[in-house]
């Protein structure tokens, strides 16, 4: 069964593509409903889908036989149709547009849709710089769709097409200040915080002990700042996990570049990829937004399930916005909860001794 979606982009794209005949399709990102829907509508075609959220890959269930689920990356050439459901991350959509242009054969079509509230209009403008004027543009249900044709004439590329992390196959560099050292890291479009260490994570890094033996788990790792800092402070082993497959790619790239043999990053939804492993420290800067609404789902799962993954003397270390009452949530599960450090915007909480 395909889960319901409130995304106007998905409905616009399914309605626009169901009658379009093509043998080879590529779908960068997007929800499982979109990928499975197109594969079902075009049962004789080859559909290649590169989801960026491990939960969408799982939600696809037993996919149609013509749907190939791939890791995020650059699709091969010769694609006849590219379908993009735009996200609020403009640089990520720009990367998908570049990938689509390079993958499409001359005469191929690109279908692009998104929500008005998430900035679809300027993204359609970005597409027009690569493909020219759209063949058609329509709007309804708080969303907008545009359809473009890939012509055989090379167009002048905008400056953003060569930006690191936006240009397919490239990374964007930034520095991590950890333990008195400057550590070079990379990231790519679609990863939380972009090419910087966000203020909440910086506060958590300041709260890490100077000597950190044992096994560490970084949940929601992004490009790997927390896990890498833990490794540099003496952790015996470090695991990093994220639902975002682009984040996992970036974290593994950083692990490889730095030669951190005791670190690994892998996809996971909170503890879903950890098995029965237990840790001396679980650290996280958990997300608390779903769209524009506050959502405690991830934090609640993290707090409730942490005792099953902590060693007897282990602890959970969380950074959160100061207005979020995580302390009360942690006190329901742990006998000892303390504020390690705080400023006007964030606080770092440590929980130990599960009840």
pLDDT band at 1 (very low <50, low <70, confident <90, very high): very low
Q: Is 206 helix (H, G, I), strand (E, B) or coil?
A: helix
Phi, psi (rounded to 5 degrees) for 266: -150, 160
Domains 8-162 and 172-354 share a fold: yes
> How buried is 307 (Cβ within 10 angstroms: 0-12 exposed, 13-18 middle, 19+ buried)?
middle
**Which is more confidently placed, 21 or 178?**
21
Spatial CB neighbours of 291, under 8 Å, sequence gap ≥ 6: none
Query: What is the rounded distance in angstroms from the CA atom of residue 218 to the CA atom of residue 318?
Result: 10
Spatial CB neighbours of 297, under 8 Å, sequence gap ≥ 6: 290
Phi, psi (rounded to 5 degrees) for 6: -100, 5
Give the HSE-up count for residue 100: Cα atoms under 13 Å, Cβ half-sphere: 34
Yes or no: domain 172-354 corresponds to CATH 3.60.15.10: no
pLDDT tens-digit readout, 138-166: 998 899 999 999 997 778 899 999 999 99
Domain 8-162, second-level architecture: 3-Layer(aba) Sandwich (3.40)
Give the HSE-up count for residue 11: Cα atoms under 13 Å, Cβ half-sphere: 14
Per-residue pLDDT for 2 more than 50? no
Per-domain residue ranges of the chain: 8-162, 172-354
pLDDT given at position 5: 52
pLDDT tens-digit readout, 338-347: 999 999 999 9
**Structural contact between residues 318 and 302, judged by C-beta atoms closer than 8 angstroms:** yes
**Structural contact between residues 350 and 317, judged by C-beta atoms closer than 8 angstroms:** yes
């Amino acid at each position: 069964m395909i889960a319901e979606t409130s995304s106007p982009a998905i409905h616009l794209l399914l309605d626009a593509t169901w009658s379009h005949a093509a043998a080879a399709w590529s779908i960068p990102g997007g929800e499982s409903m979109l990928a499975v829907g197109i594969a079902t509508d075009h049962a004789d075609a080859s559909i290649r889908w590169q989801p960026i959220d491990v939960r969408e890959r799982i939600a696809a269930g037993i996919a149609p036989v013509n749907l190939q689920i791939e890791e995020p990356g650059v699709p091969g050439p010769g694609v006849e149709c590219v379908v993009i459901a735009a996200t609020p991350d403009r640089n990520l959509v720009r990367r998908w547009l570049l990938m689509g242009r390079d993958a499409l054969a001359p005469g191929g079509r690109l279908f692009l849709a998104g929500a008005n509230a998430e900035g679809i209009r300027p993204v359609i403008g970005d597409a027009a710089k690569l493909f020219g004027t759209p063949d058609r543009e329509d709007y309804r249900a708080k969303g907008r769709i545009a359809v473009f044709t890939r012509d055989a004439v090379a167009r002048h590329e905008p400056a953003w097409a060569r930006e690191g992390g936006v240009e397919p196959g490239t990374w964007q560099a930034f520095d991590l200040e950890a333990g008195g050292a400057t550590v070079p890291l990379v990231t790519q479009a679609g990863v939380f915080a972009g090419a910087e260490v966000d203020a909440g994570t910086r506060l958590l890094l300041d709260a890490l002990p100077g000597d950190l033996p044992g096994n560490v788990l970084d949940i929601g790792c992004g490009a790997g700042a927390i896990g890498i800092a833990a490794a540099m402070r003496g952790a015996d082993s470090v695991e990093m996990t994220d639902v975002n497959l682009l984040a996992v790619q970036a974290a593994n790239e950083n692990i490889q570049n730095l030669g951190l043999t005791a670190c690994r990053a892998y996809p996971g939804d909170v503890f879903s990829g950890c098995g029965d492993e237990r840790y001396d420290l679980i650290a996280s800067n958990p997300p608390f937004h779903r769209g524009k609404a506050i959502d405690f789902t991830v934090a609640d799962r993290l707090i409730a399930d942490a005792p099953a993954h902590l060693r007897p003397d282990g602890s959970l270390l969380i950074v959160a916005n100061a207005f979020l009452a995580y302390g009360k949530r942690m006190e329901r599960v742990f006998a000892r909860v303390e504020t390690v450090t705080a400023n006007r915007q964030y606080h770092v909480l440590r929980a130990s001794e599960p009840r």
